[in-house]
Structure 1
Amino acid sequence: MTIERDPVALRFEPLFRLFALYLRFSFSRNFHAVRLSGALPVLPELQPVIVFSNHPSWWDPALFILLTDHMFRGRPCFGPMDEDSLQRYGFFRRLGVFGVEKSSLAGAKRFLQVARHILGQSSGPAGRGMVWVTAEGGFTDQRKRPITLRPGIAHLARSVPDALLVPLAIEYGFWNESRPEVMIRFGTPMPADAQRRTTDWTALLQTALSAEMDALARDTMSRDRSRFQRVLRGRAGASLPYDLYRRLRALLAGRPFSSAHEEEA
């Protein structure tokens, strides 16, 4: 694989960290919070990891970068993007993003080739790389059932036998603040297996991701913050003029002021 097409060689960690810092700012401005349902998966340090998720929003790839920087720092992360889109946003190649032709046999082959290369090599100590994939292929409502995954993730599960596959459920929704919440939930890591047939892998991965999406939906619909860990605190408040009015009233009354609709520890 030439350097011009090798995402491991192109990825530049300082730029990744700088962009992740920008995303922390961006998410904190656009969302009330990023919240984790359940626990983080236990990932052996030198074992490659494939995270596969549903795809409810434009924000998902940015969320992957944010989560990698916050939860899995030290593991270089990579992920595919439509080649036409990547041509317009070329600097993403320096973040570990690699291009594939969408909905083509050549694109599927390219995805498998590059993903195997990343998981077999990665930058830094061998085997620490992560590939993040929105496995549904296109935007899909987070409540749609049954879910349908593209076959590439199943082929990858058979191609890298020492890897772990981790389902990730994602939701975006409003609770009691003016800005939406980001909800995530990881499933139990599954060891890859070259002996399992592709169709069996597809069914297994769909079942695993569906189970985490259903569990996350139940926690989200409960609107119970105690079921979540807060990963990132965002902004609260209704609008600048109204919050200024509320702040003035609190000042005149000698009360502490919070812009949040509901207090949170």
Structure 2
Amino acid sequence: MFKPSHKRPVIEWGFTRFNRMFLNIHFNRILLNAPESVPKENTMFLINHSAWWDPLFIFYLNDQVIHSDGYGMMHEDGLQKFPFFRSIGAFSINSSNRKHLMESLSYSADLLSKGKTVWIFPQGAEQPLEKRPLEFFSGISYIVQKAPHVNVVPVSIYYALEHERKPNAYITIGEPLPQEGYSELNRKSMTHYFETAATKQLNELRTRVVQEDHQLFHPI
């Protein structure tokens, strides 16, 4: 059964502070490359998913950088195990149940039409960081078709063990993808367009990390 978000401000406040401390304990540095202005409303953020840490970084980015009324998809099984996440903006998705899937996608479109932001792992499940192609699911294009004026912003996370005991997390927030590039495409082609843009951004981030080119990044 589809479970919508049920935000509770007190819990959001407490988790925000815990999450800041938790990530800063476990990572040496969190480094960001982002435009001067990132849209805070009516925006769908597409983020690659390779680690358990990713949902915590979504919350951290929204807290430290975006400052939006943000929501995120979470698999039904995970939300059943940890219903607490509904209190901080998570809602359920189950792609193996068509009714559940359509309710989740429609709920996403409705949130966006109300000016919220929605964070999505378009790979659908955690995948190895270096796996290509990223293989996005077409539900993201369904959402765009239902909320046609949405901003679509790719977000890339790359984890690296470098010269310290703890890993570094490198994050790139891209510019909103130009709507003229995808608005007239069918769902399959639109999904491919989003996947291509996100792959290019993630590969560029990987190259900068491997070459230790840190000029564009600042700590958050």
Q: 1:228 and 1:67 mapped to 2: Cα distance?
A: 14
CA distance in 2, matches of 1:143, 1:44: 28
Q: Kindly indicate whether the alpha-carbon contact (under 8 Å) linking 2:45 and 2:118 is maintained by their aligned counterparts in 1.
A: yes
Q: What does residue 136 of structure 1 align with?
A: 123
Deviations along 1:116-167, one digit per CA (max 9) or x if unpaired, are 121122xxxxx1x110011101111222222210111111121111110000
Displacement of 1:191 after TM fit? 5.2
CA distance in structure 2 between the aligned counterparts of 1:141 and 1:101, rounded to whole angstroms:
21
Match of 2:193 among 195, 204, 207: 204
Q: How many residues align?
A: 217
Alpha-carbon separation, structure 2, partners of 1:139 and 1:5: 21
Q: In structure 1, which of residues 34, 43, 51 is the aligned counterpart of residue 45 of structure 2?
A: 51
- Distance in 2, matches of 1:167 and 1:198, equals 18
Equivalent residue number for residue 73 of structure 2:
80
Indicate the residue corresponding to 2:63 in structure 1: 69
Quick check: which has more Rg, 1 or 2? 1
* 1:162 and 2:149 correspond: yes
| Alignment partner of 1:12 is 2:5 | no
State the match for 2:35 in structure 1. Answer: 40
Match of 1:97 in 2: 90
Deviations 1:73-131 (A, max 9, x none): 2x11101111122112111111110112243322320221110121122xxxxx1x110
CA distance in 2, matches of 1:134, 1:156: 13
Cα pair 1:162 1:191 within 8 Å, conserved? no
Answer yes or no: is the 8 Å Cα contact 1:160–1:194 preserved in 2. no
Contact 1:187 1:208 in 2 (8 A): no
> Which residue type is aligned with residue 107 of structure 1?
H
Q: How does 1:204-243 map to 2 (within 5 A)?
A: 204-231=193-220
Task: Give CA-to-partner distance per residue, 1:197-240, whole Å, 9 cap, x none.
Answer: 10121111011101110110011102243342111xxxxxxxxx
Task: Work out the percentage of aligned pairs sharing the same amino acid.
Answer: 25
Runs of at least 5 residues in structure 2 that lack an aligned partner in the other structure: none
**TM-score in terms of structure 1 length:** 0.76
Which amino acid is 2:125 matched to?
G
From the superposition, tell whether residues 194 and 219 of structure 1 become closer, same or farther in structure 2 (CA, over 3 Å): closer
Moved over 6 A (4+): none
d(CA) in 2 for partners of 1:226 and 1:199?
36
Post-superposition Cα deviations, 1:153-201, rounded to whole Å, max 9, x if no partner, equal 1111211111100001111111100000111112220255654310121
Cα separation, 2, equivalents of 1:174 and 1:112: 36
Residue 114 of structure 1 pairs with residue 101 of structure 2: no
1:6 and 1:134 map into 2 onto residues whose CA distance is: 17
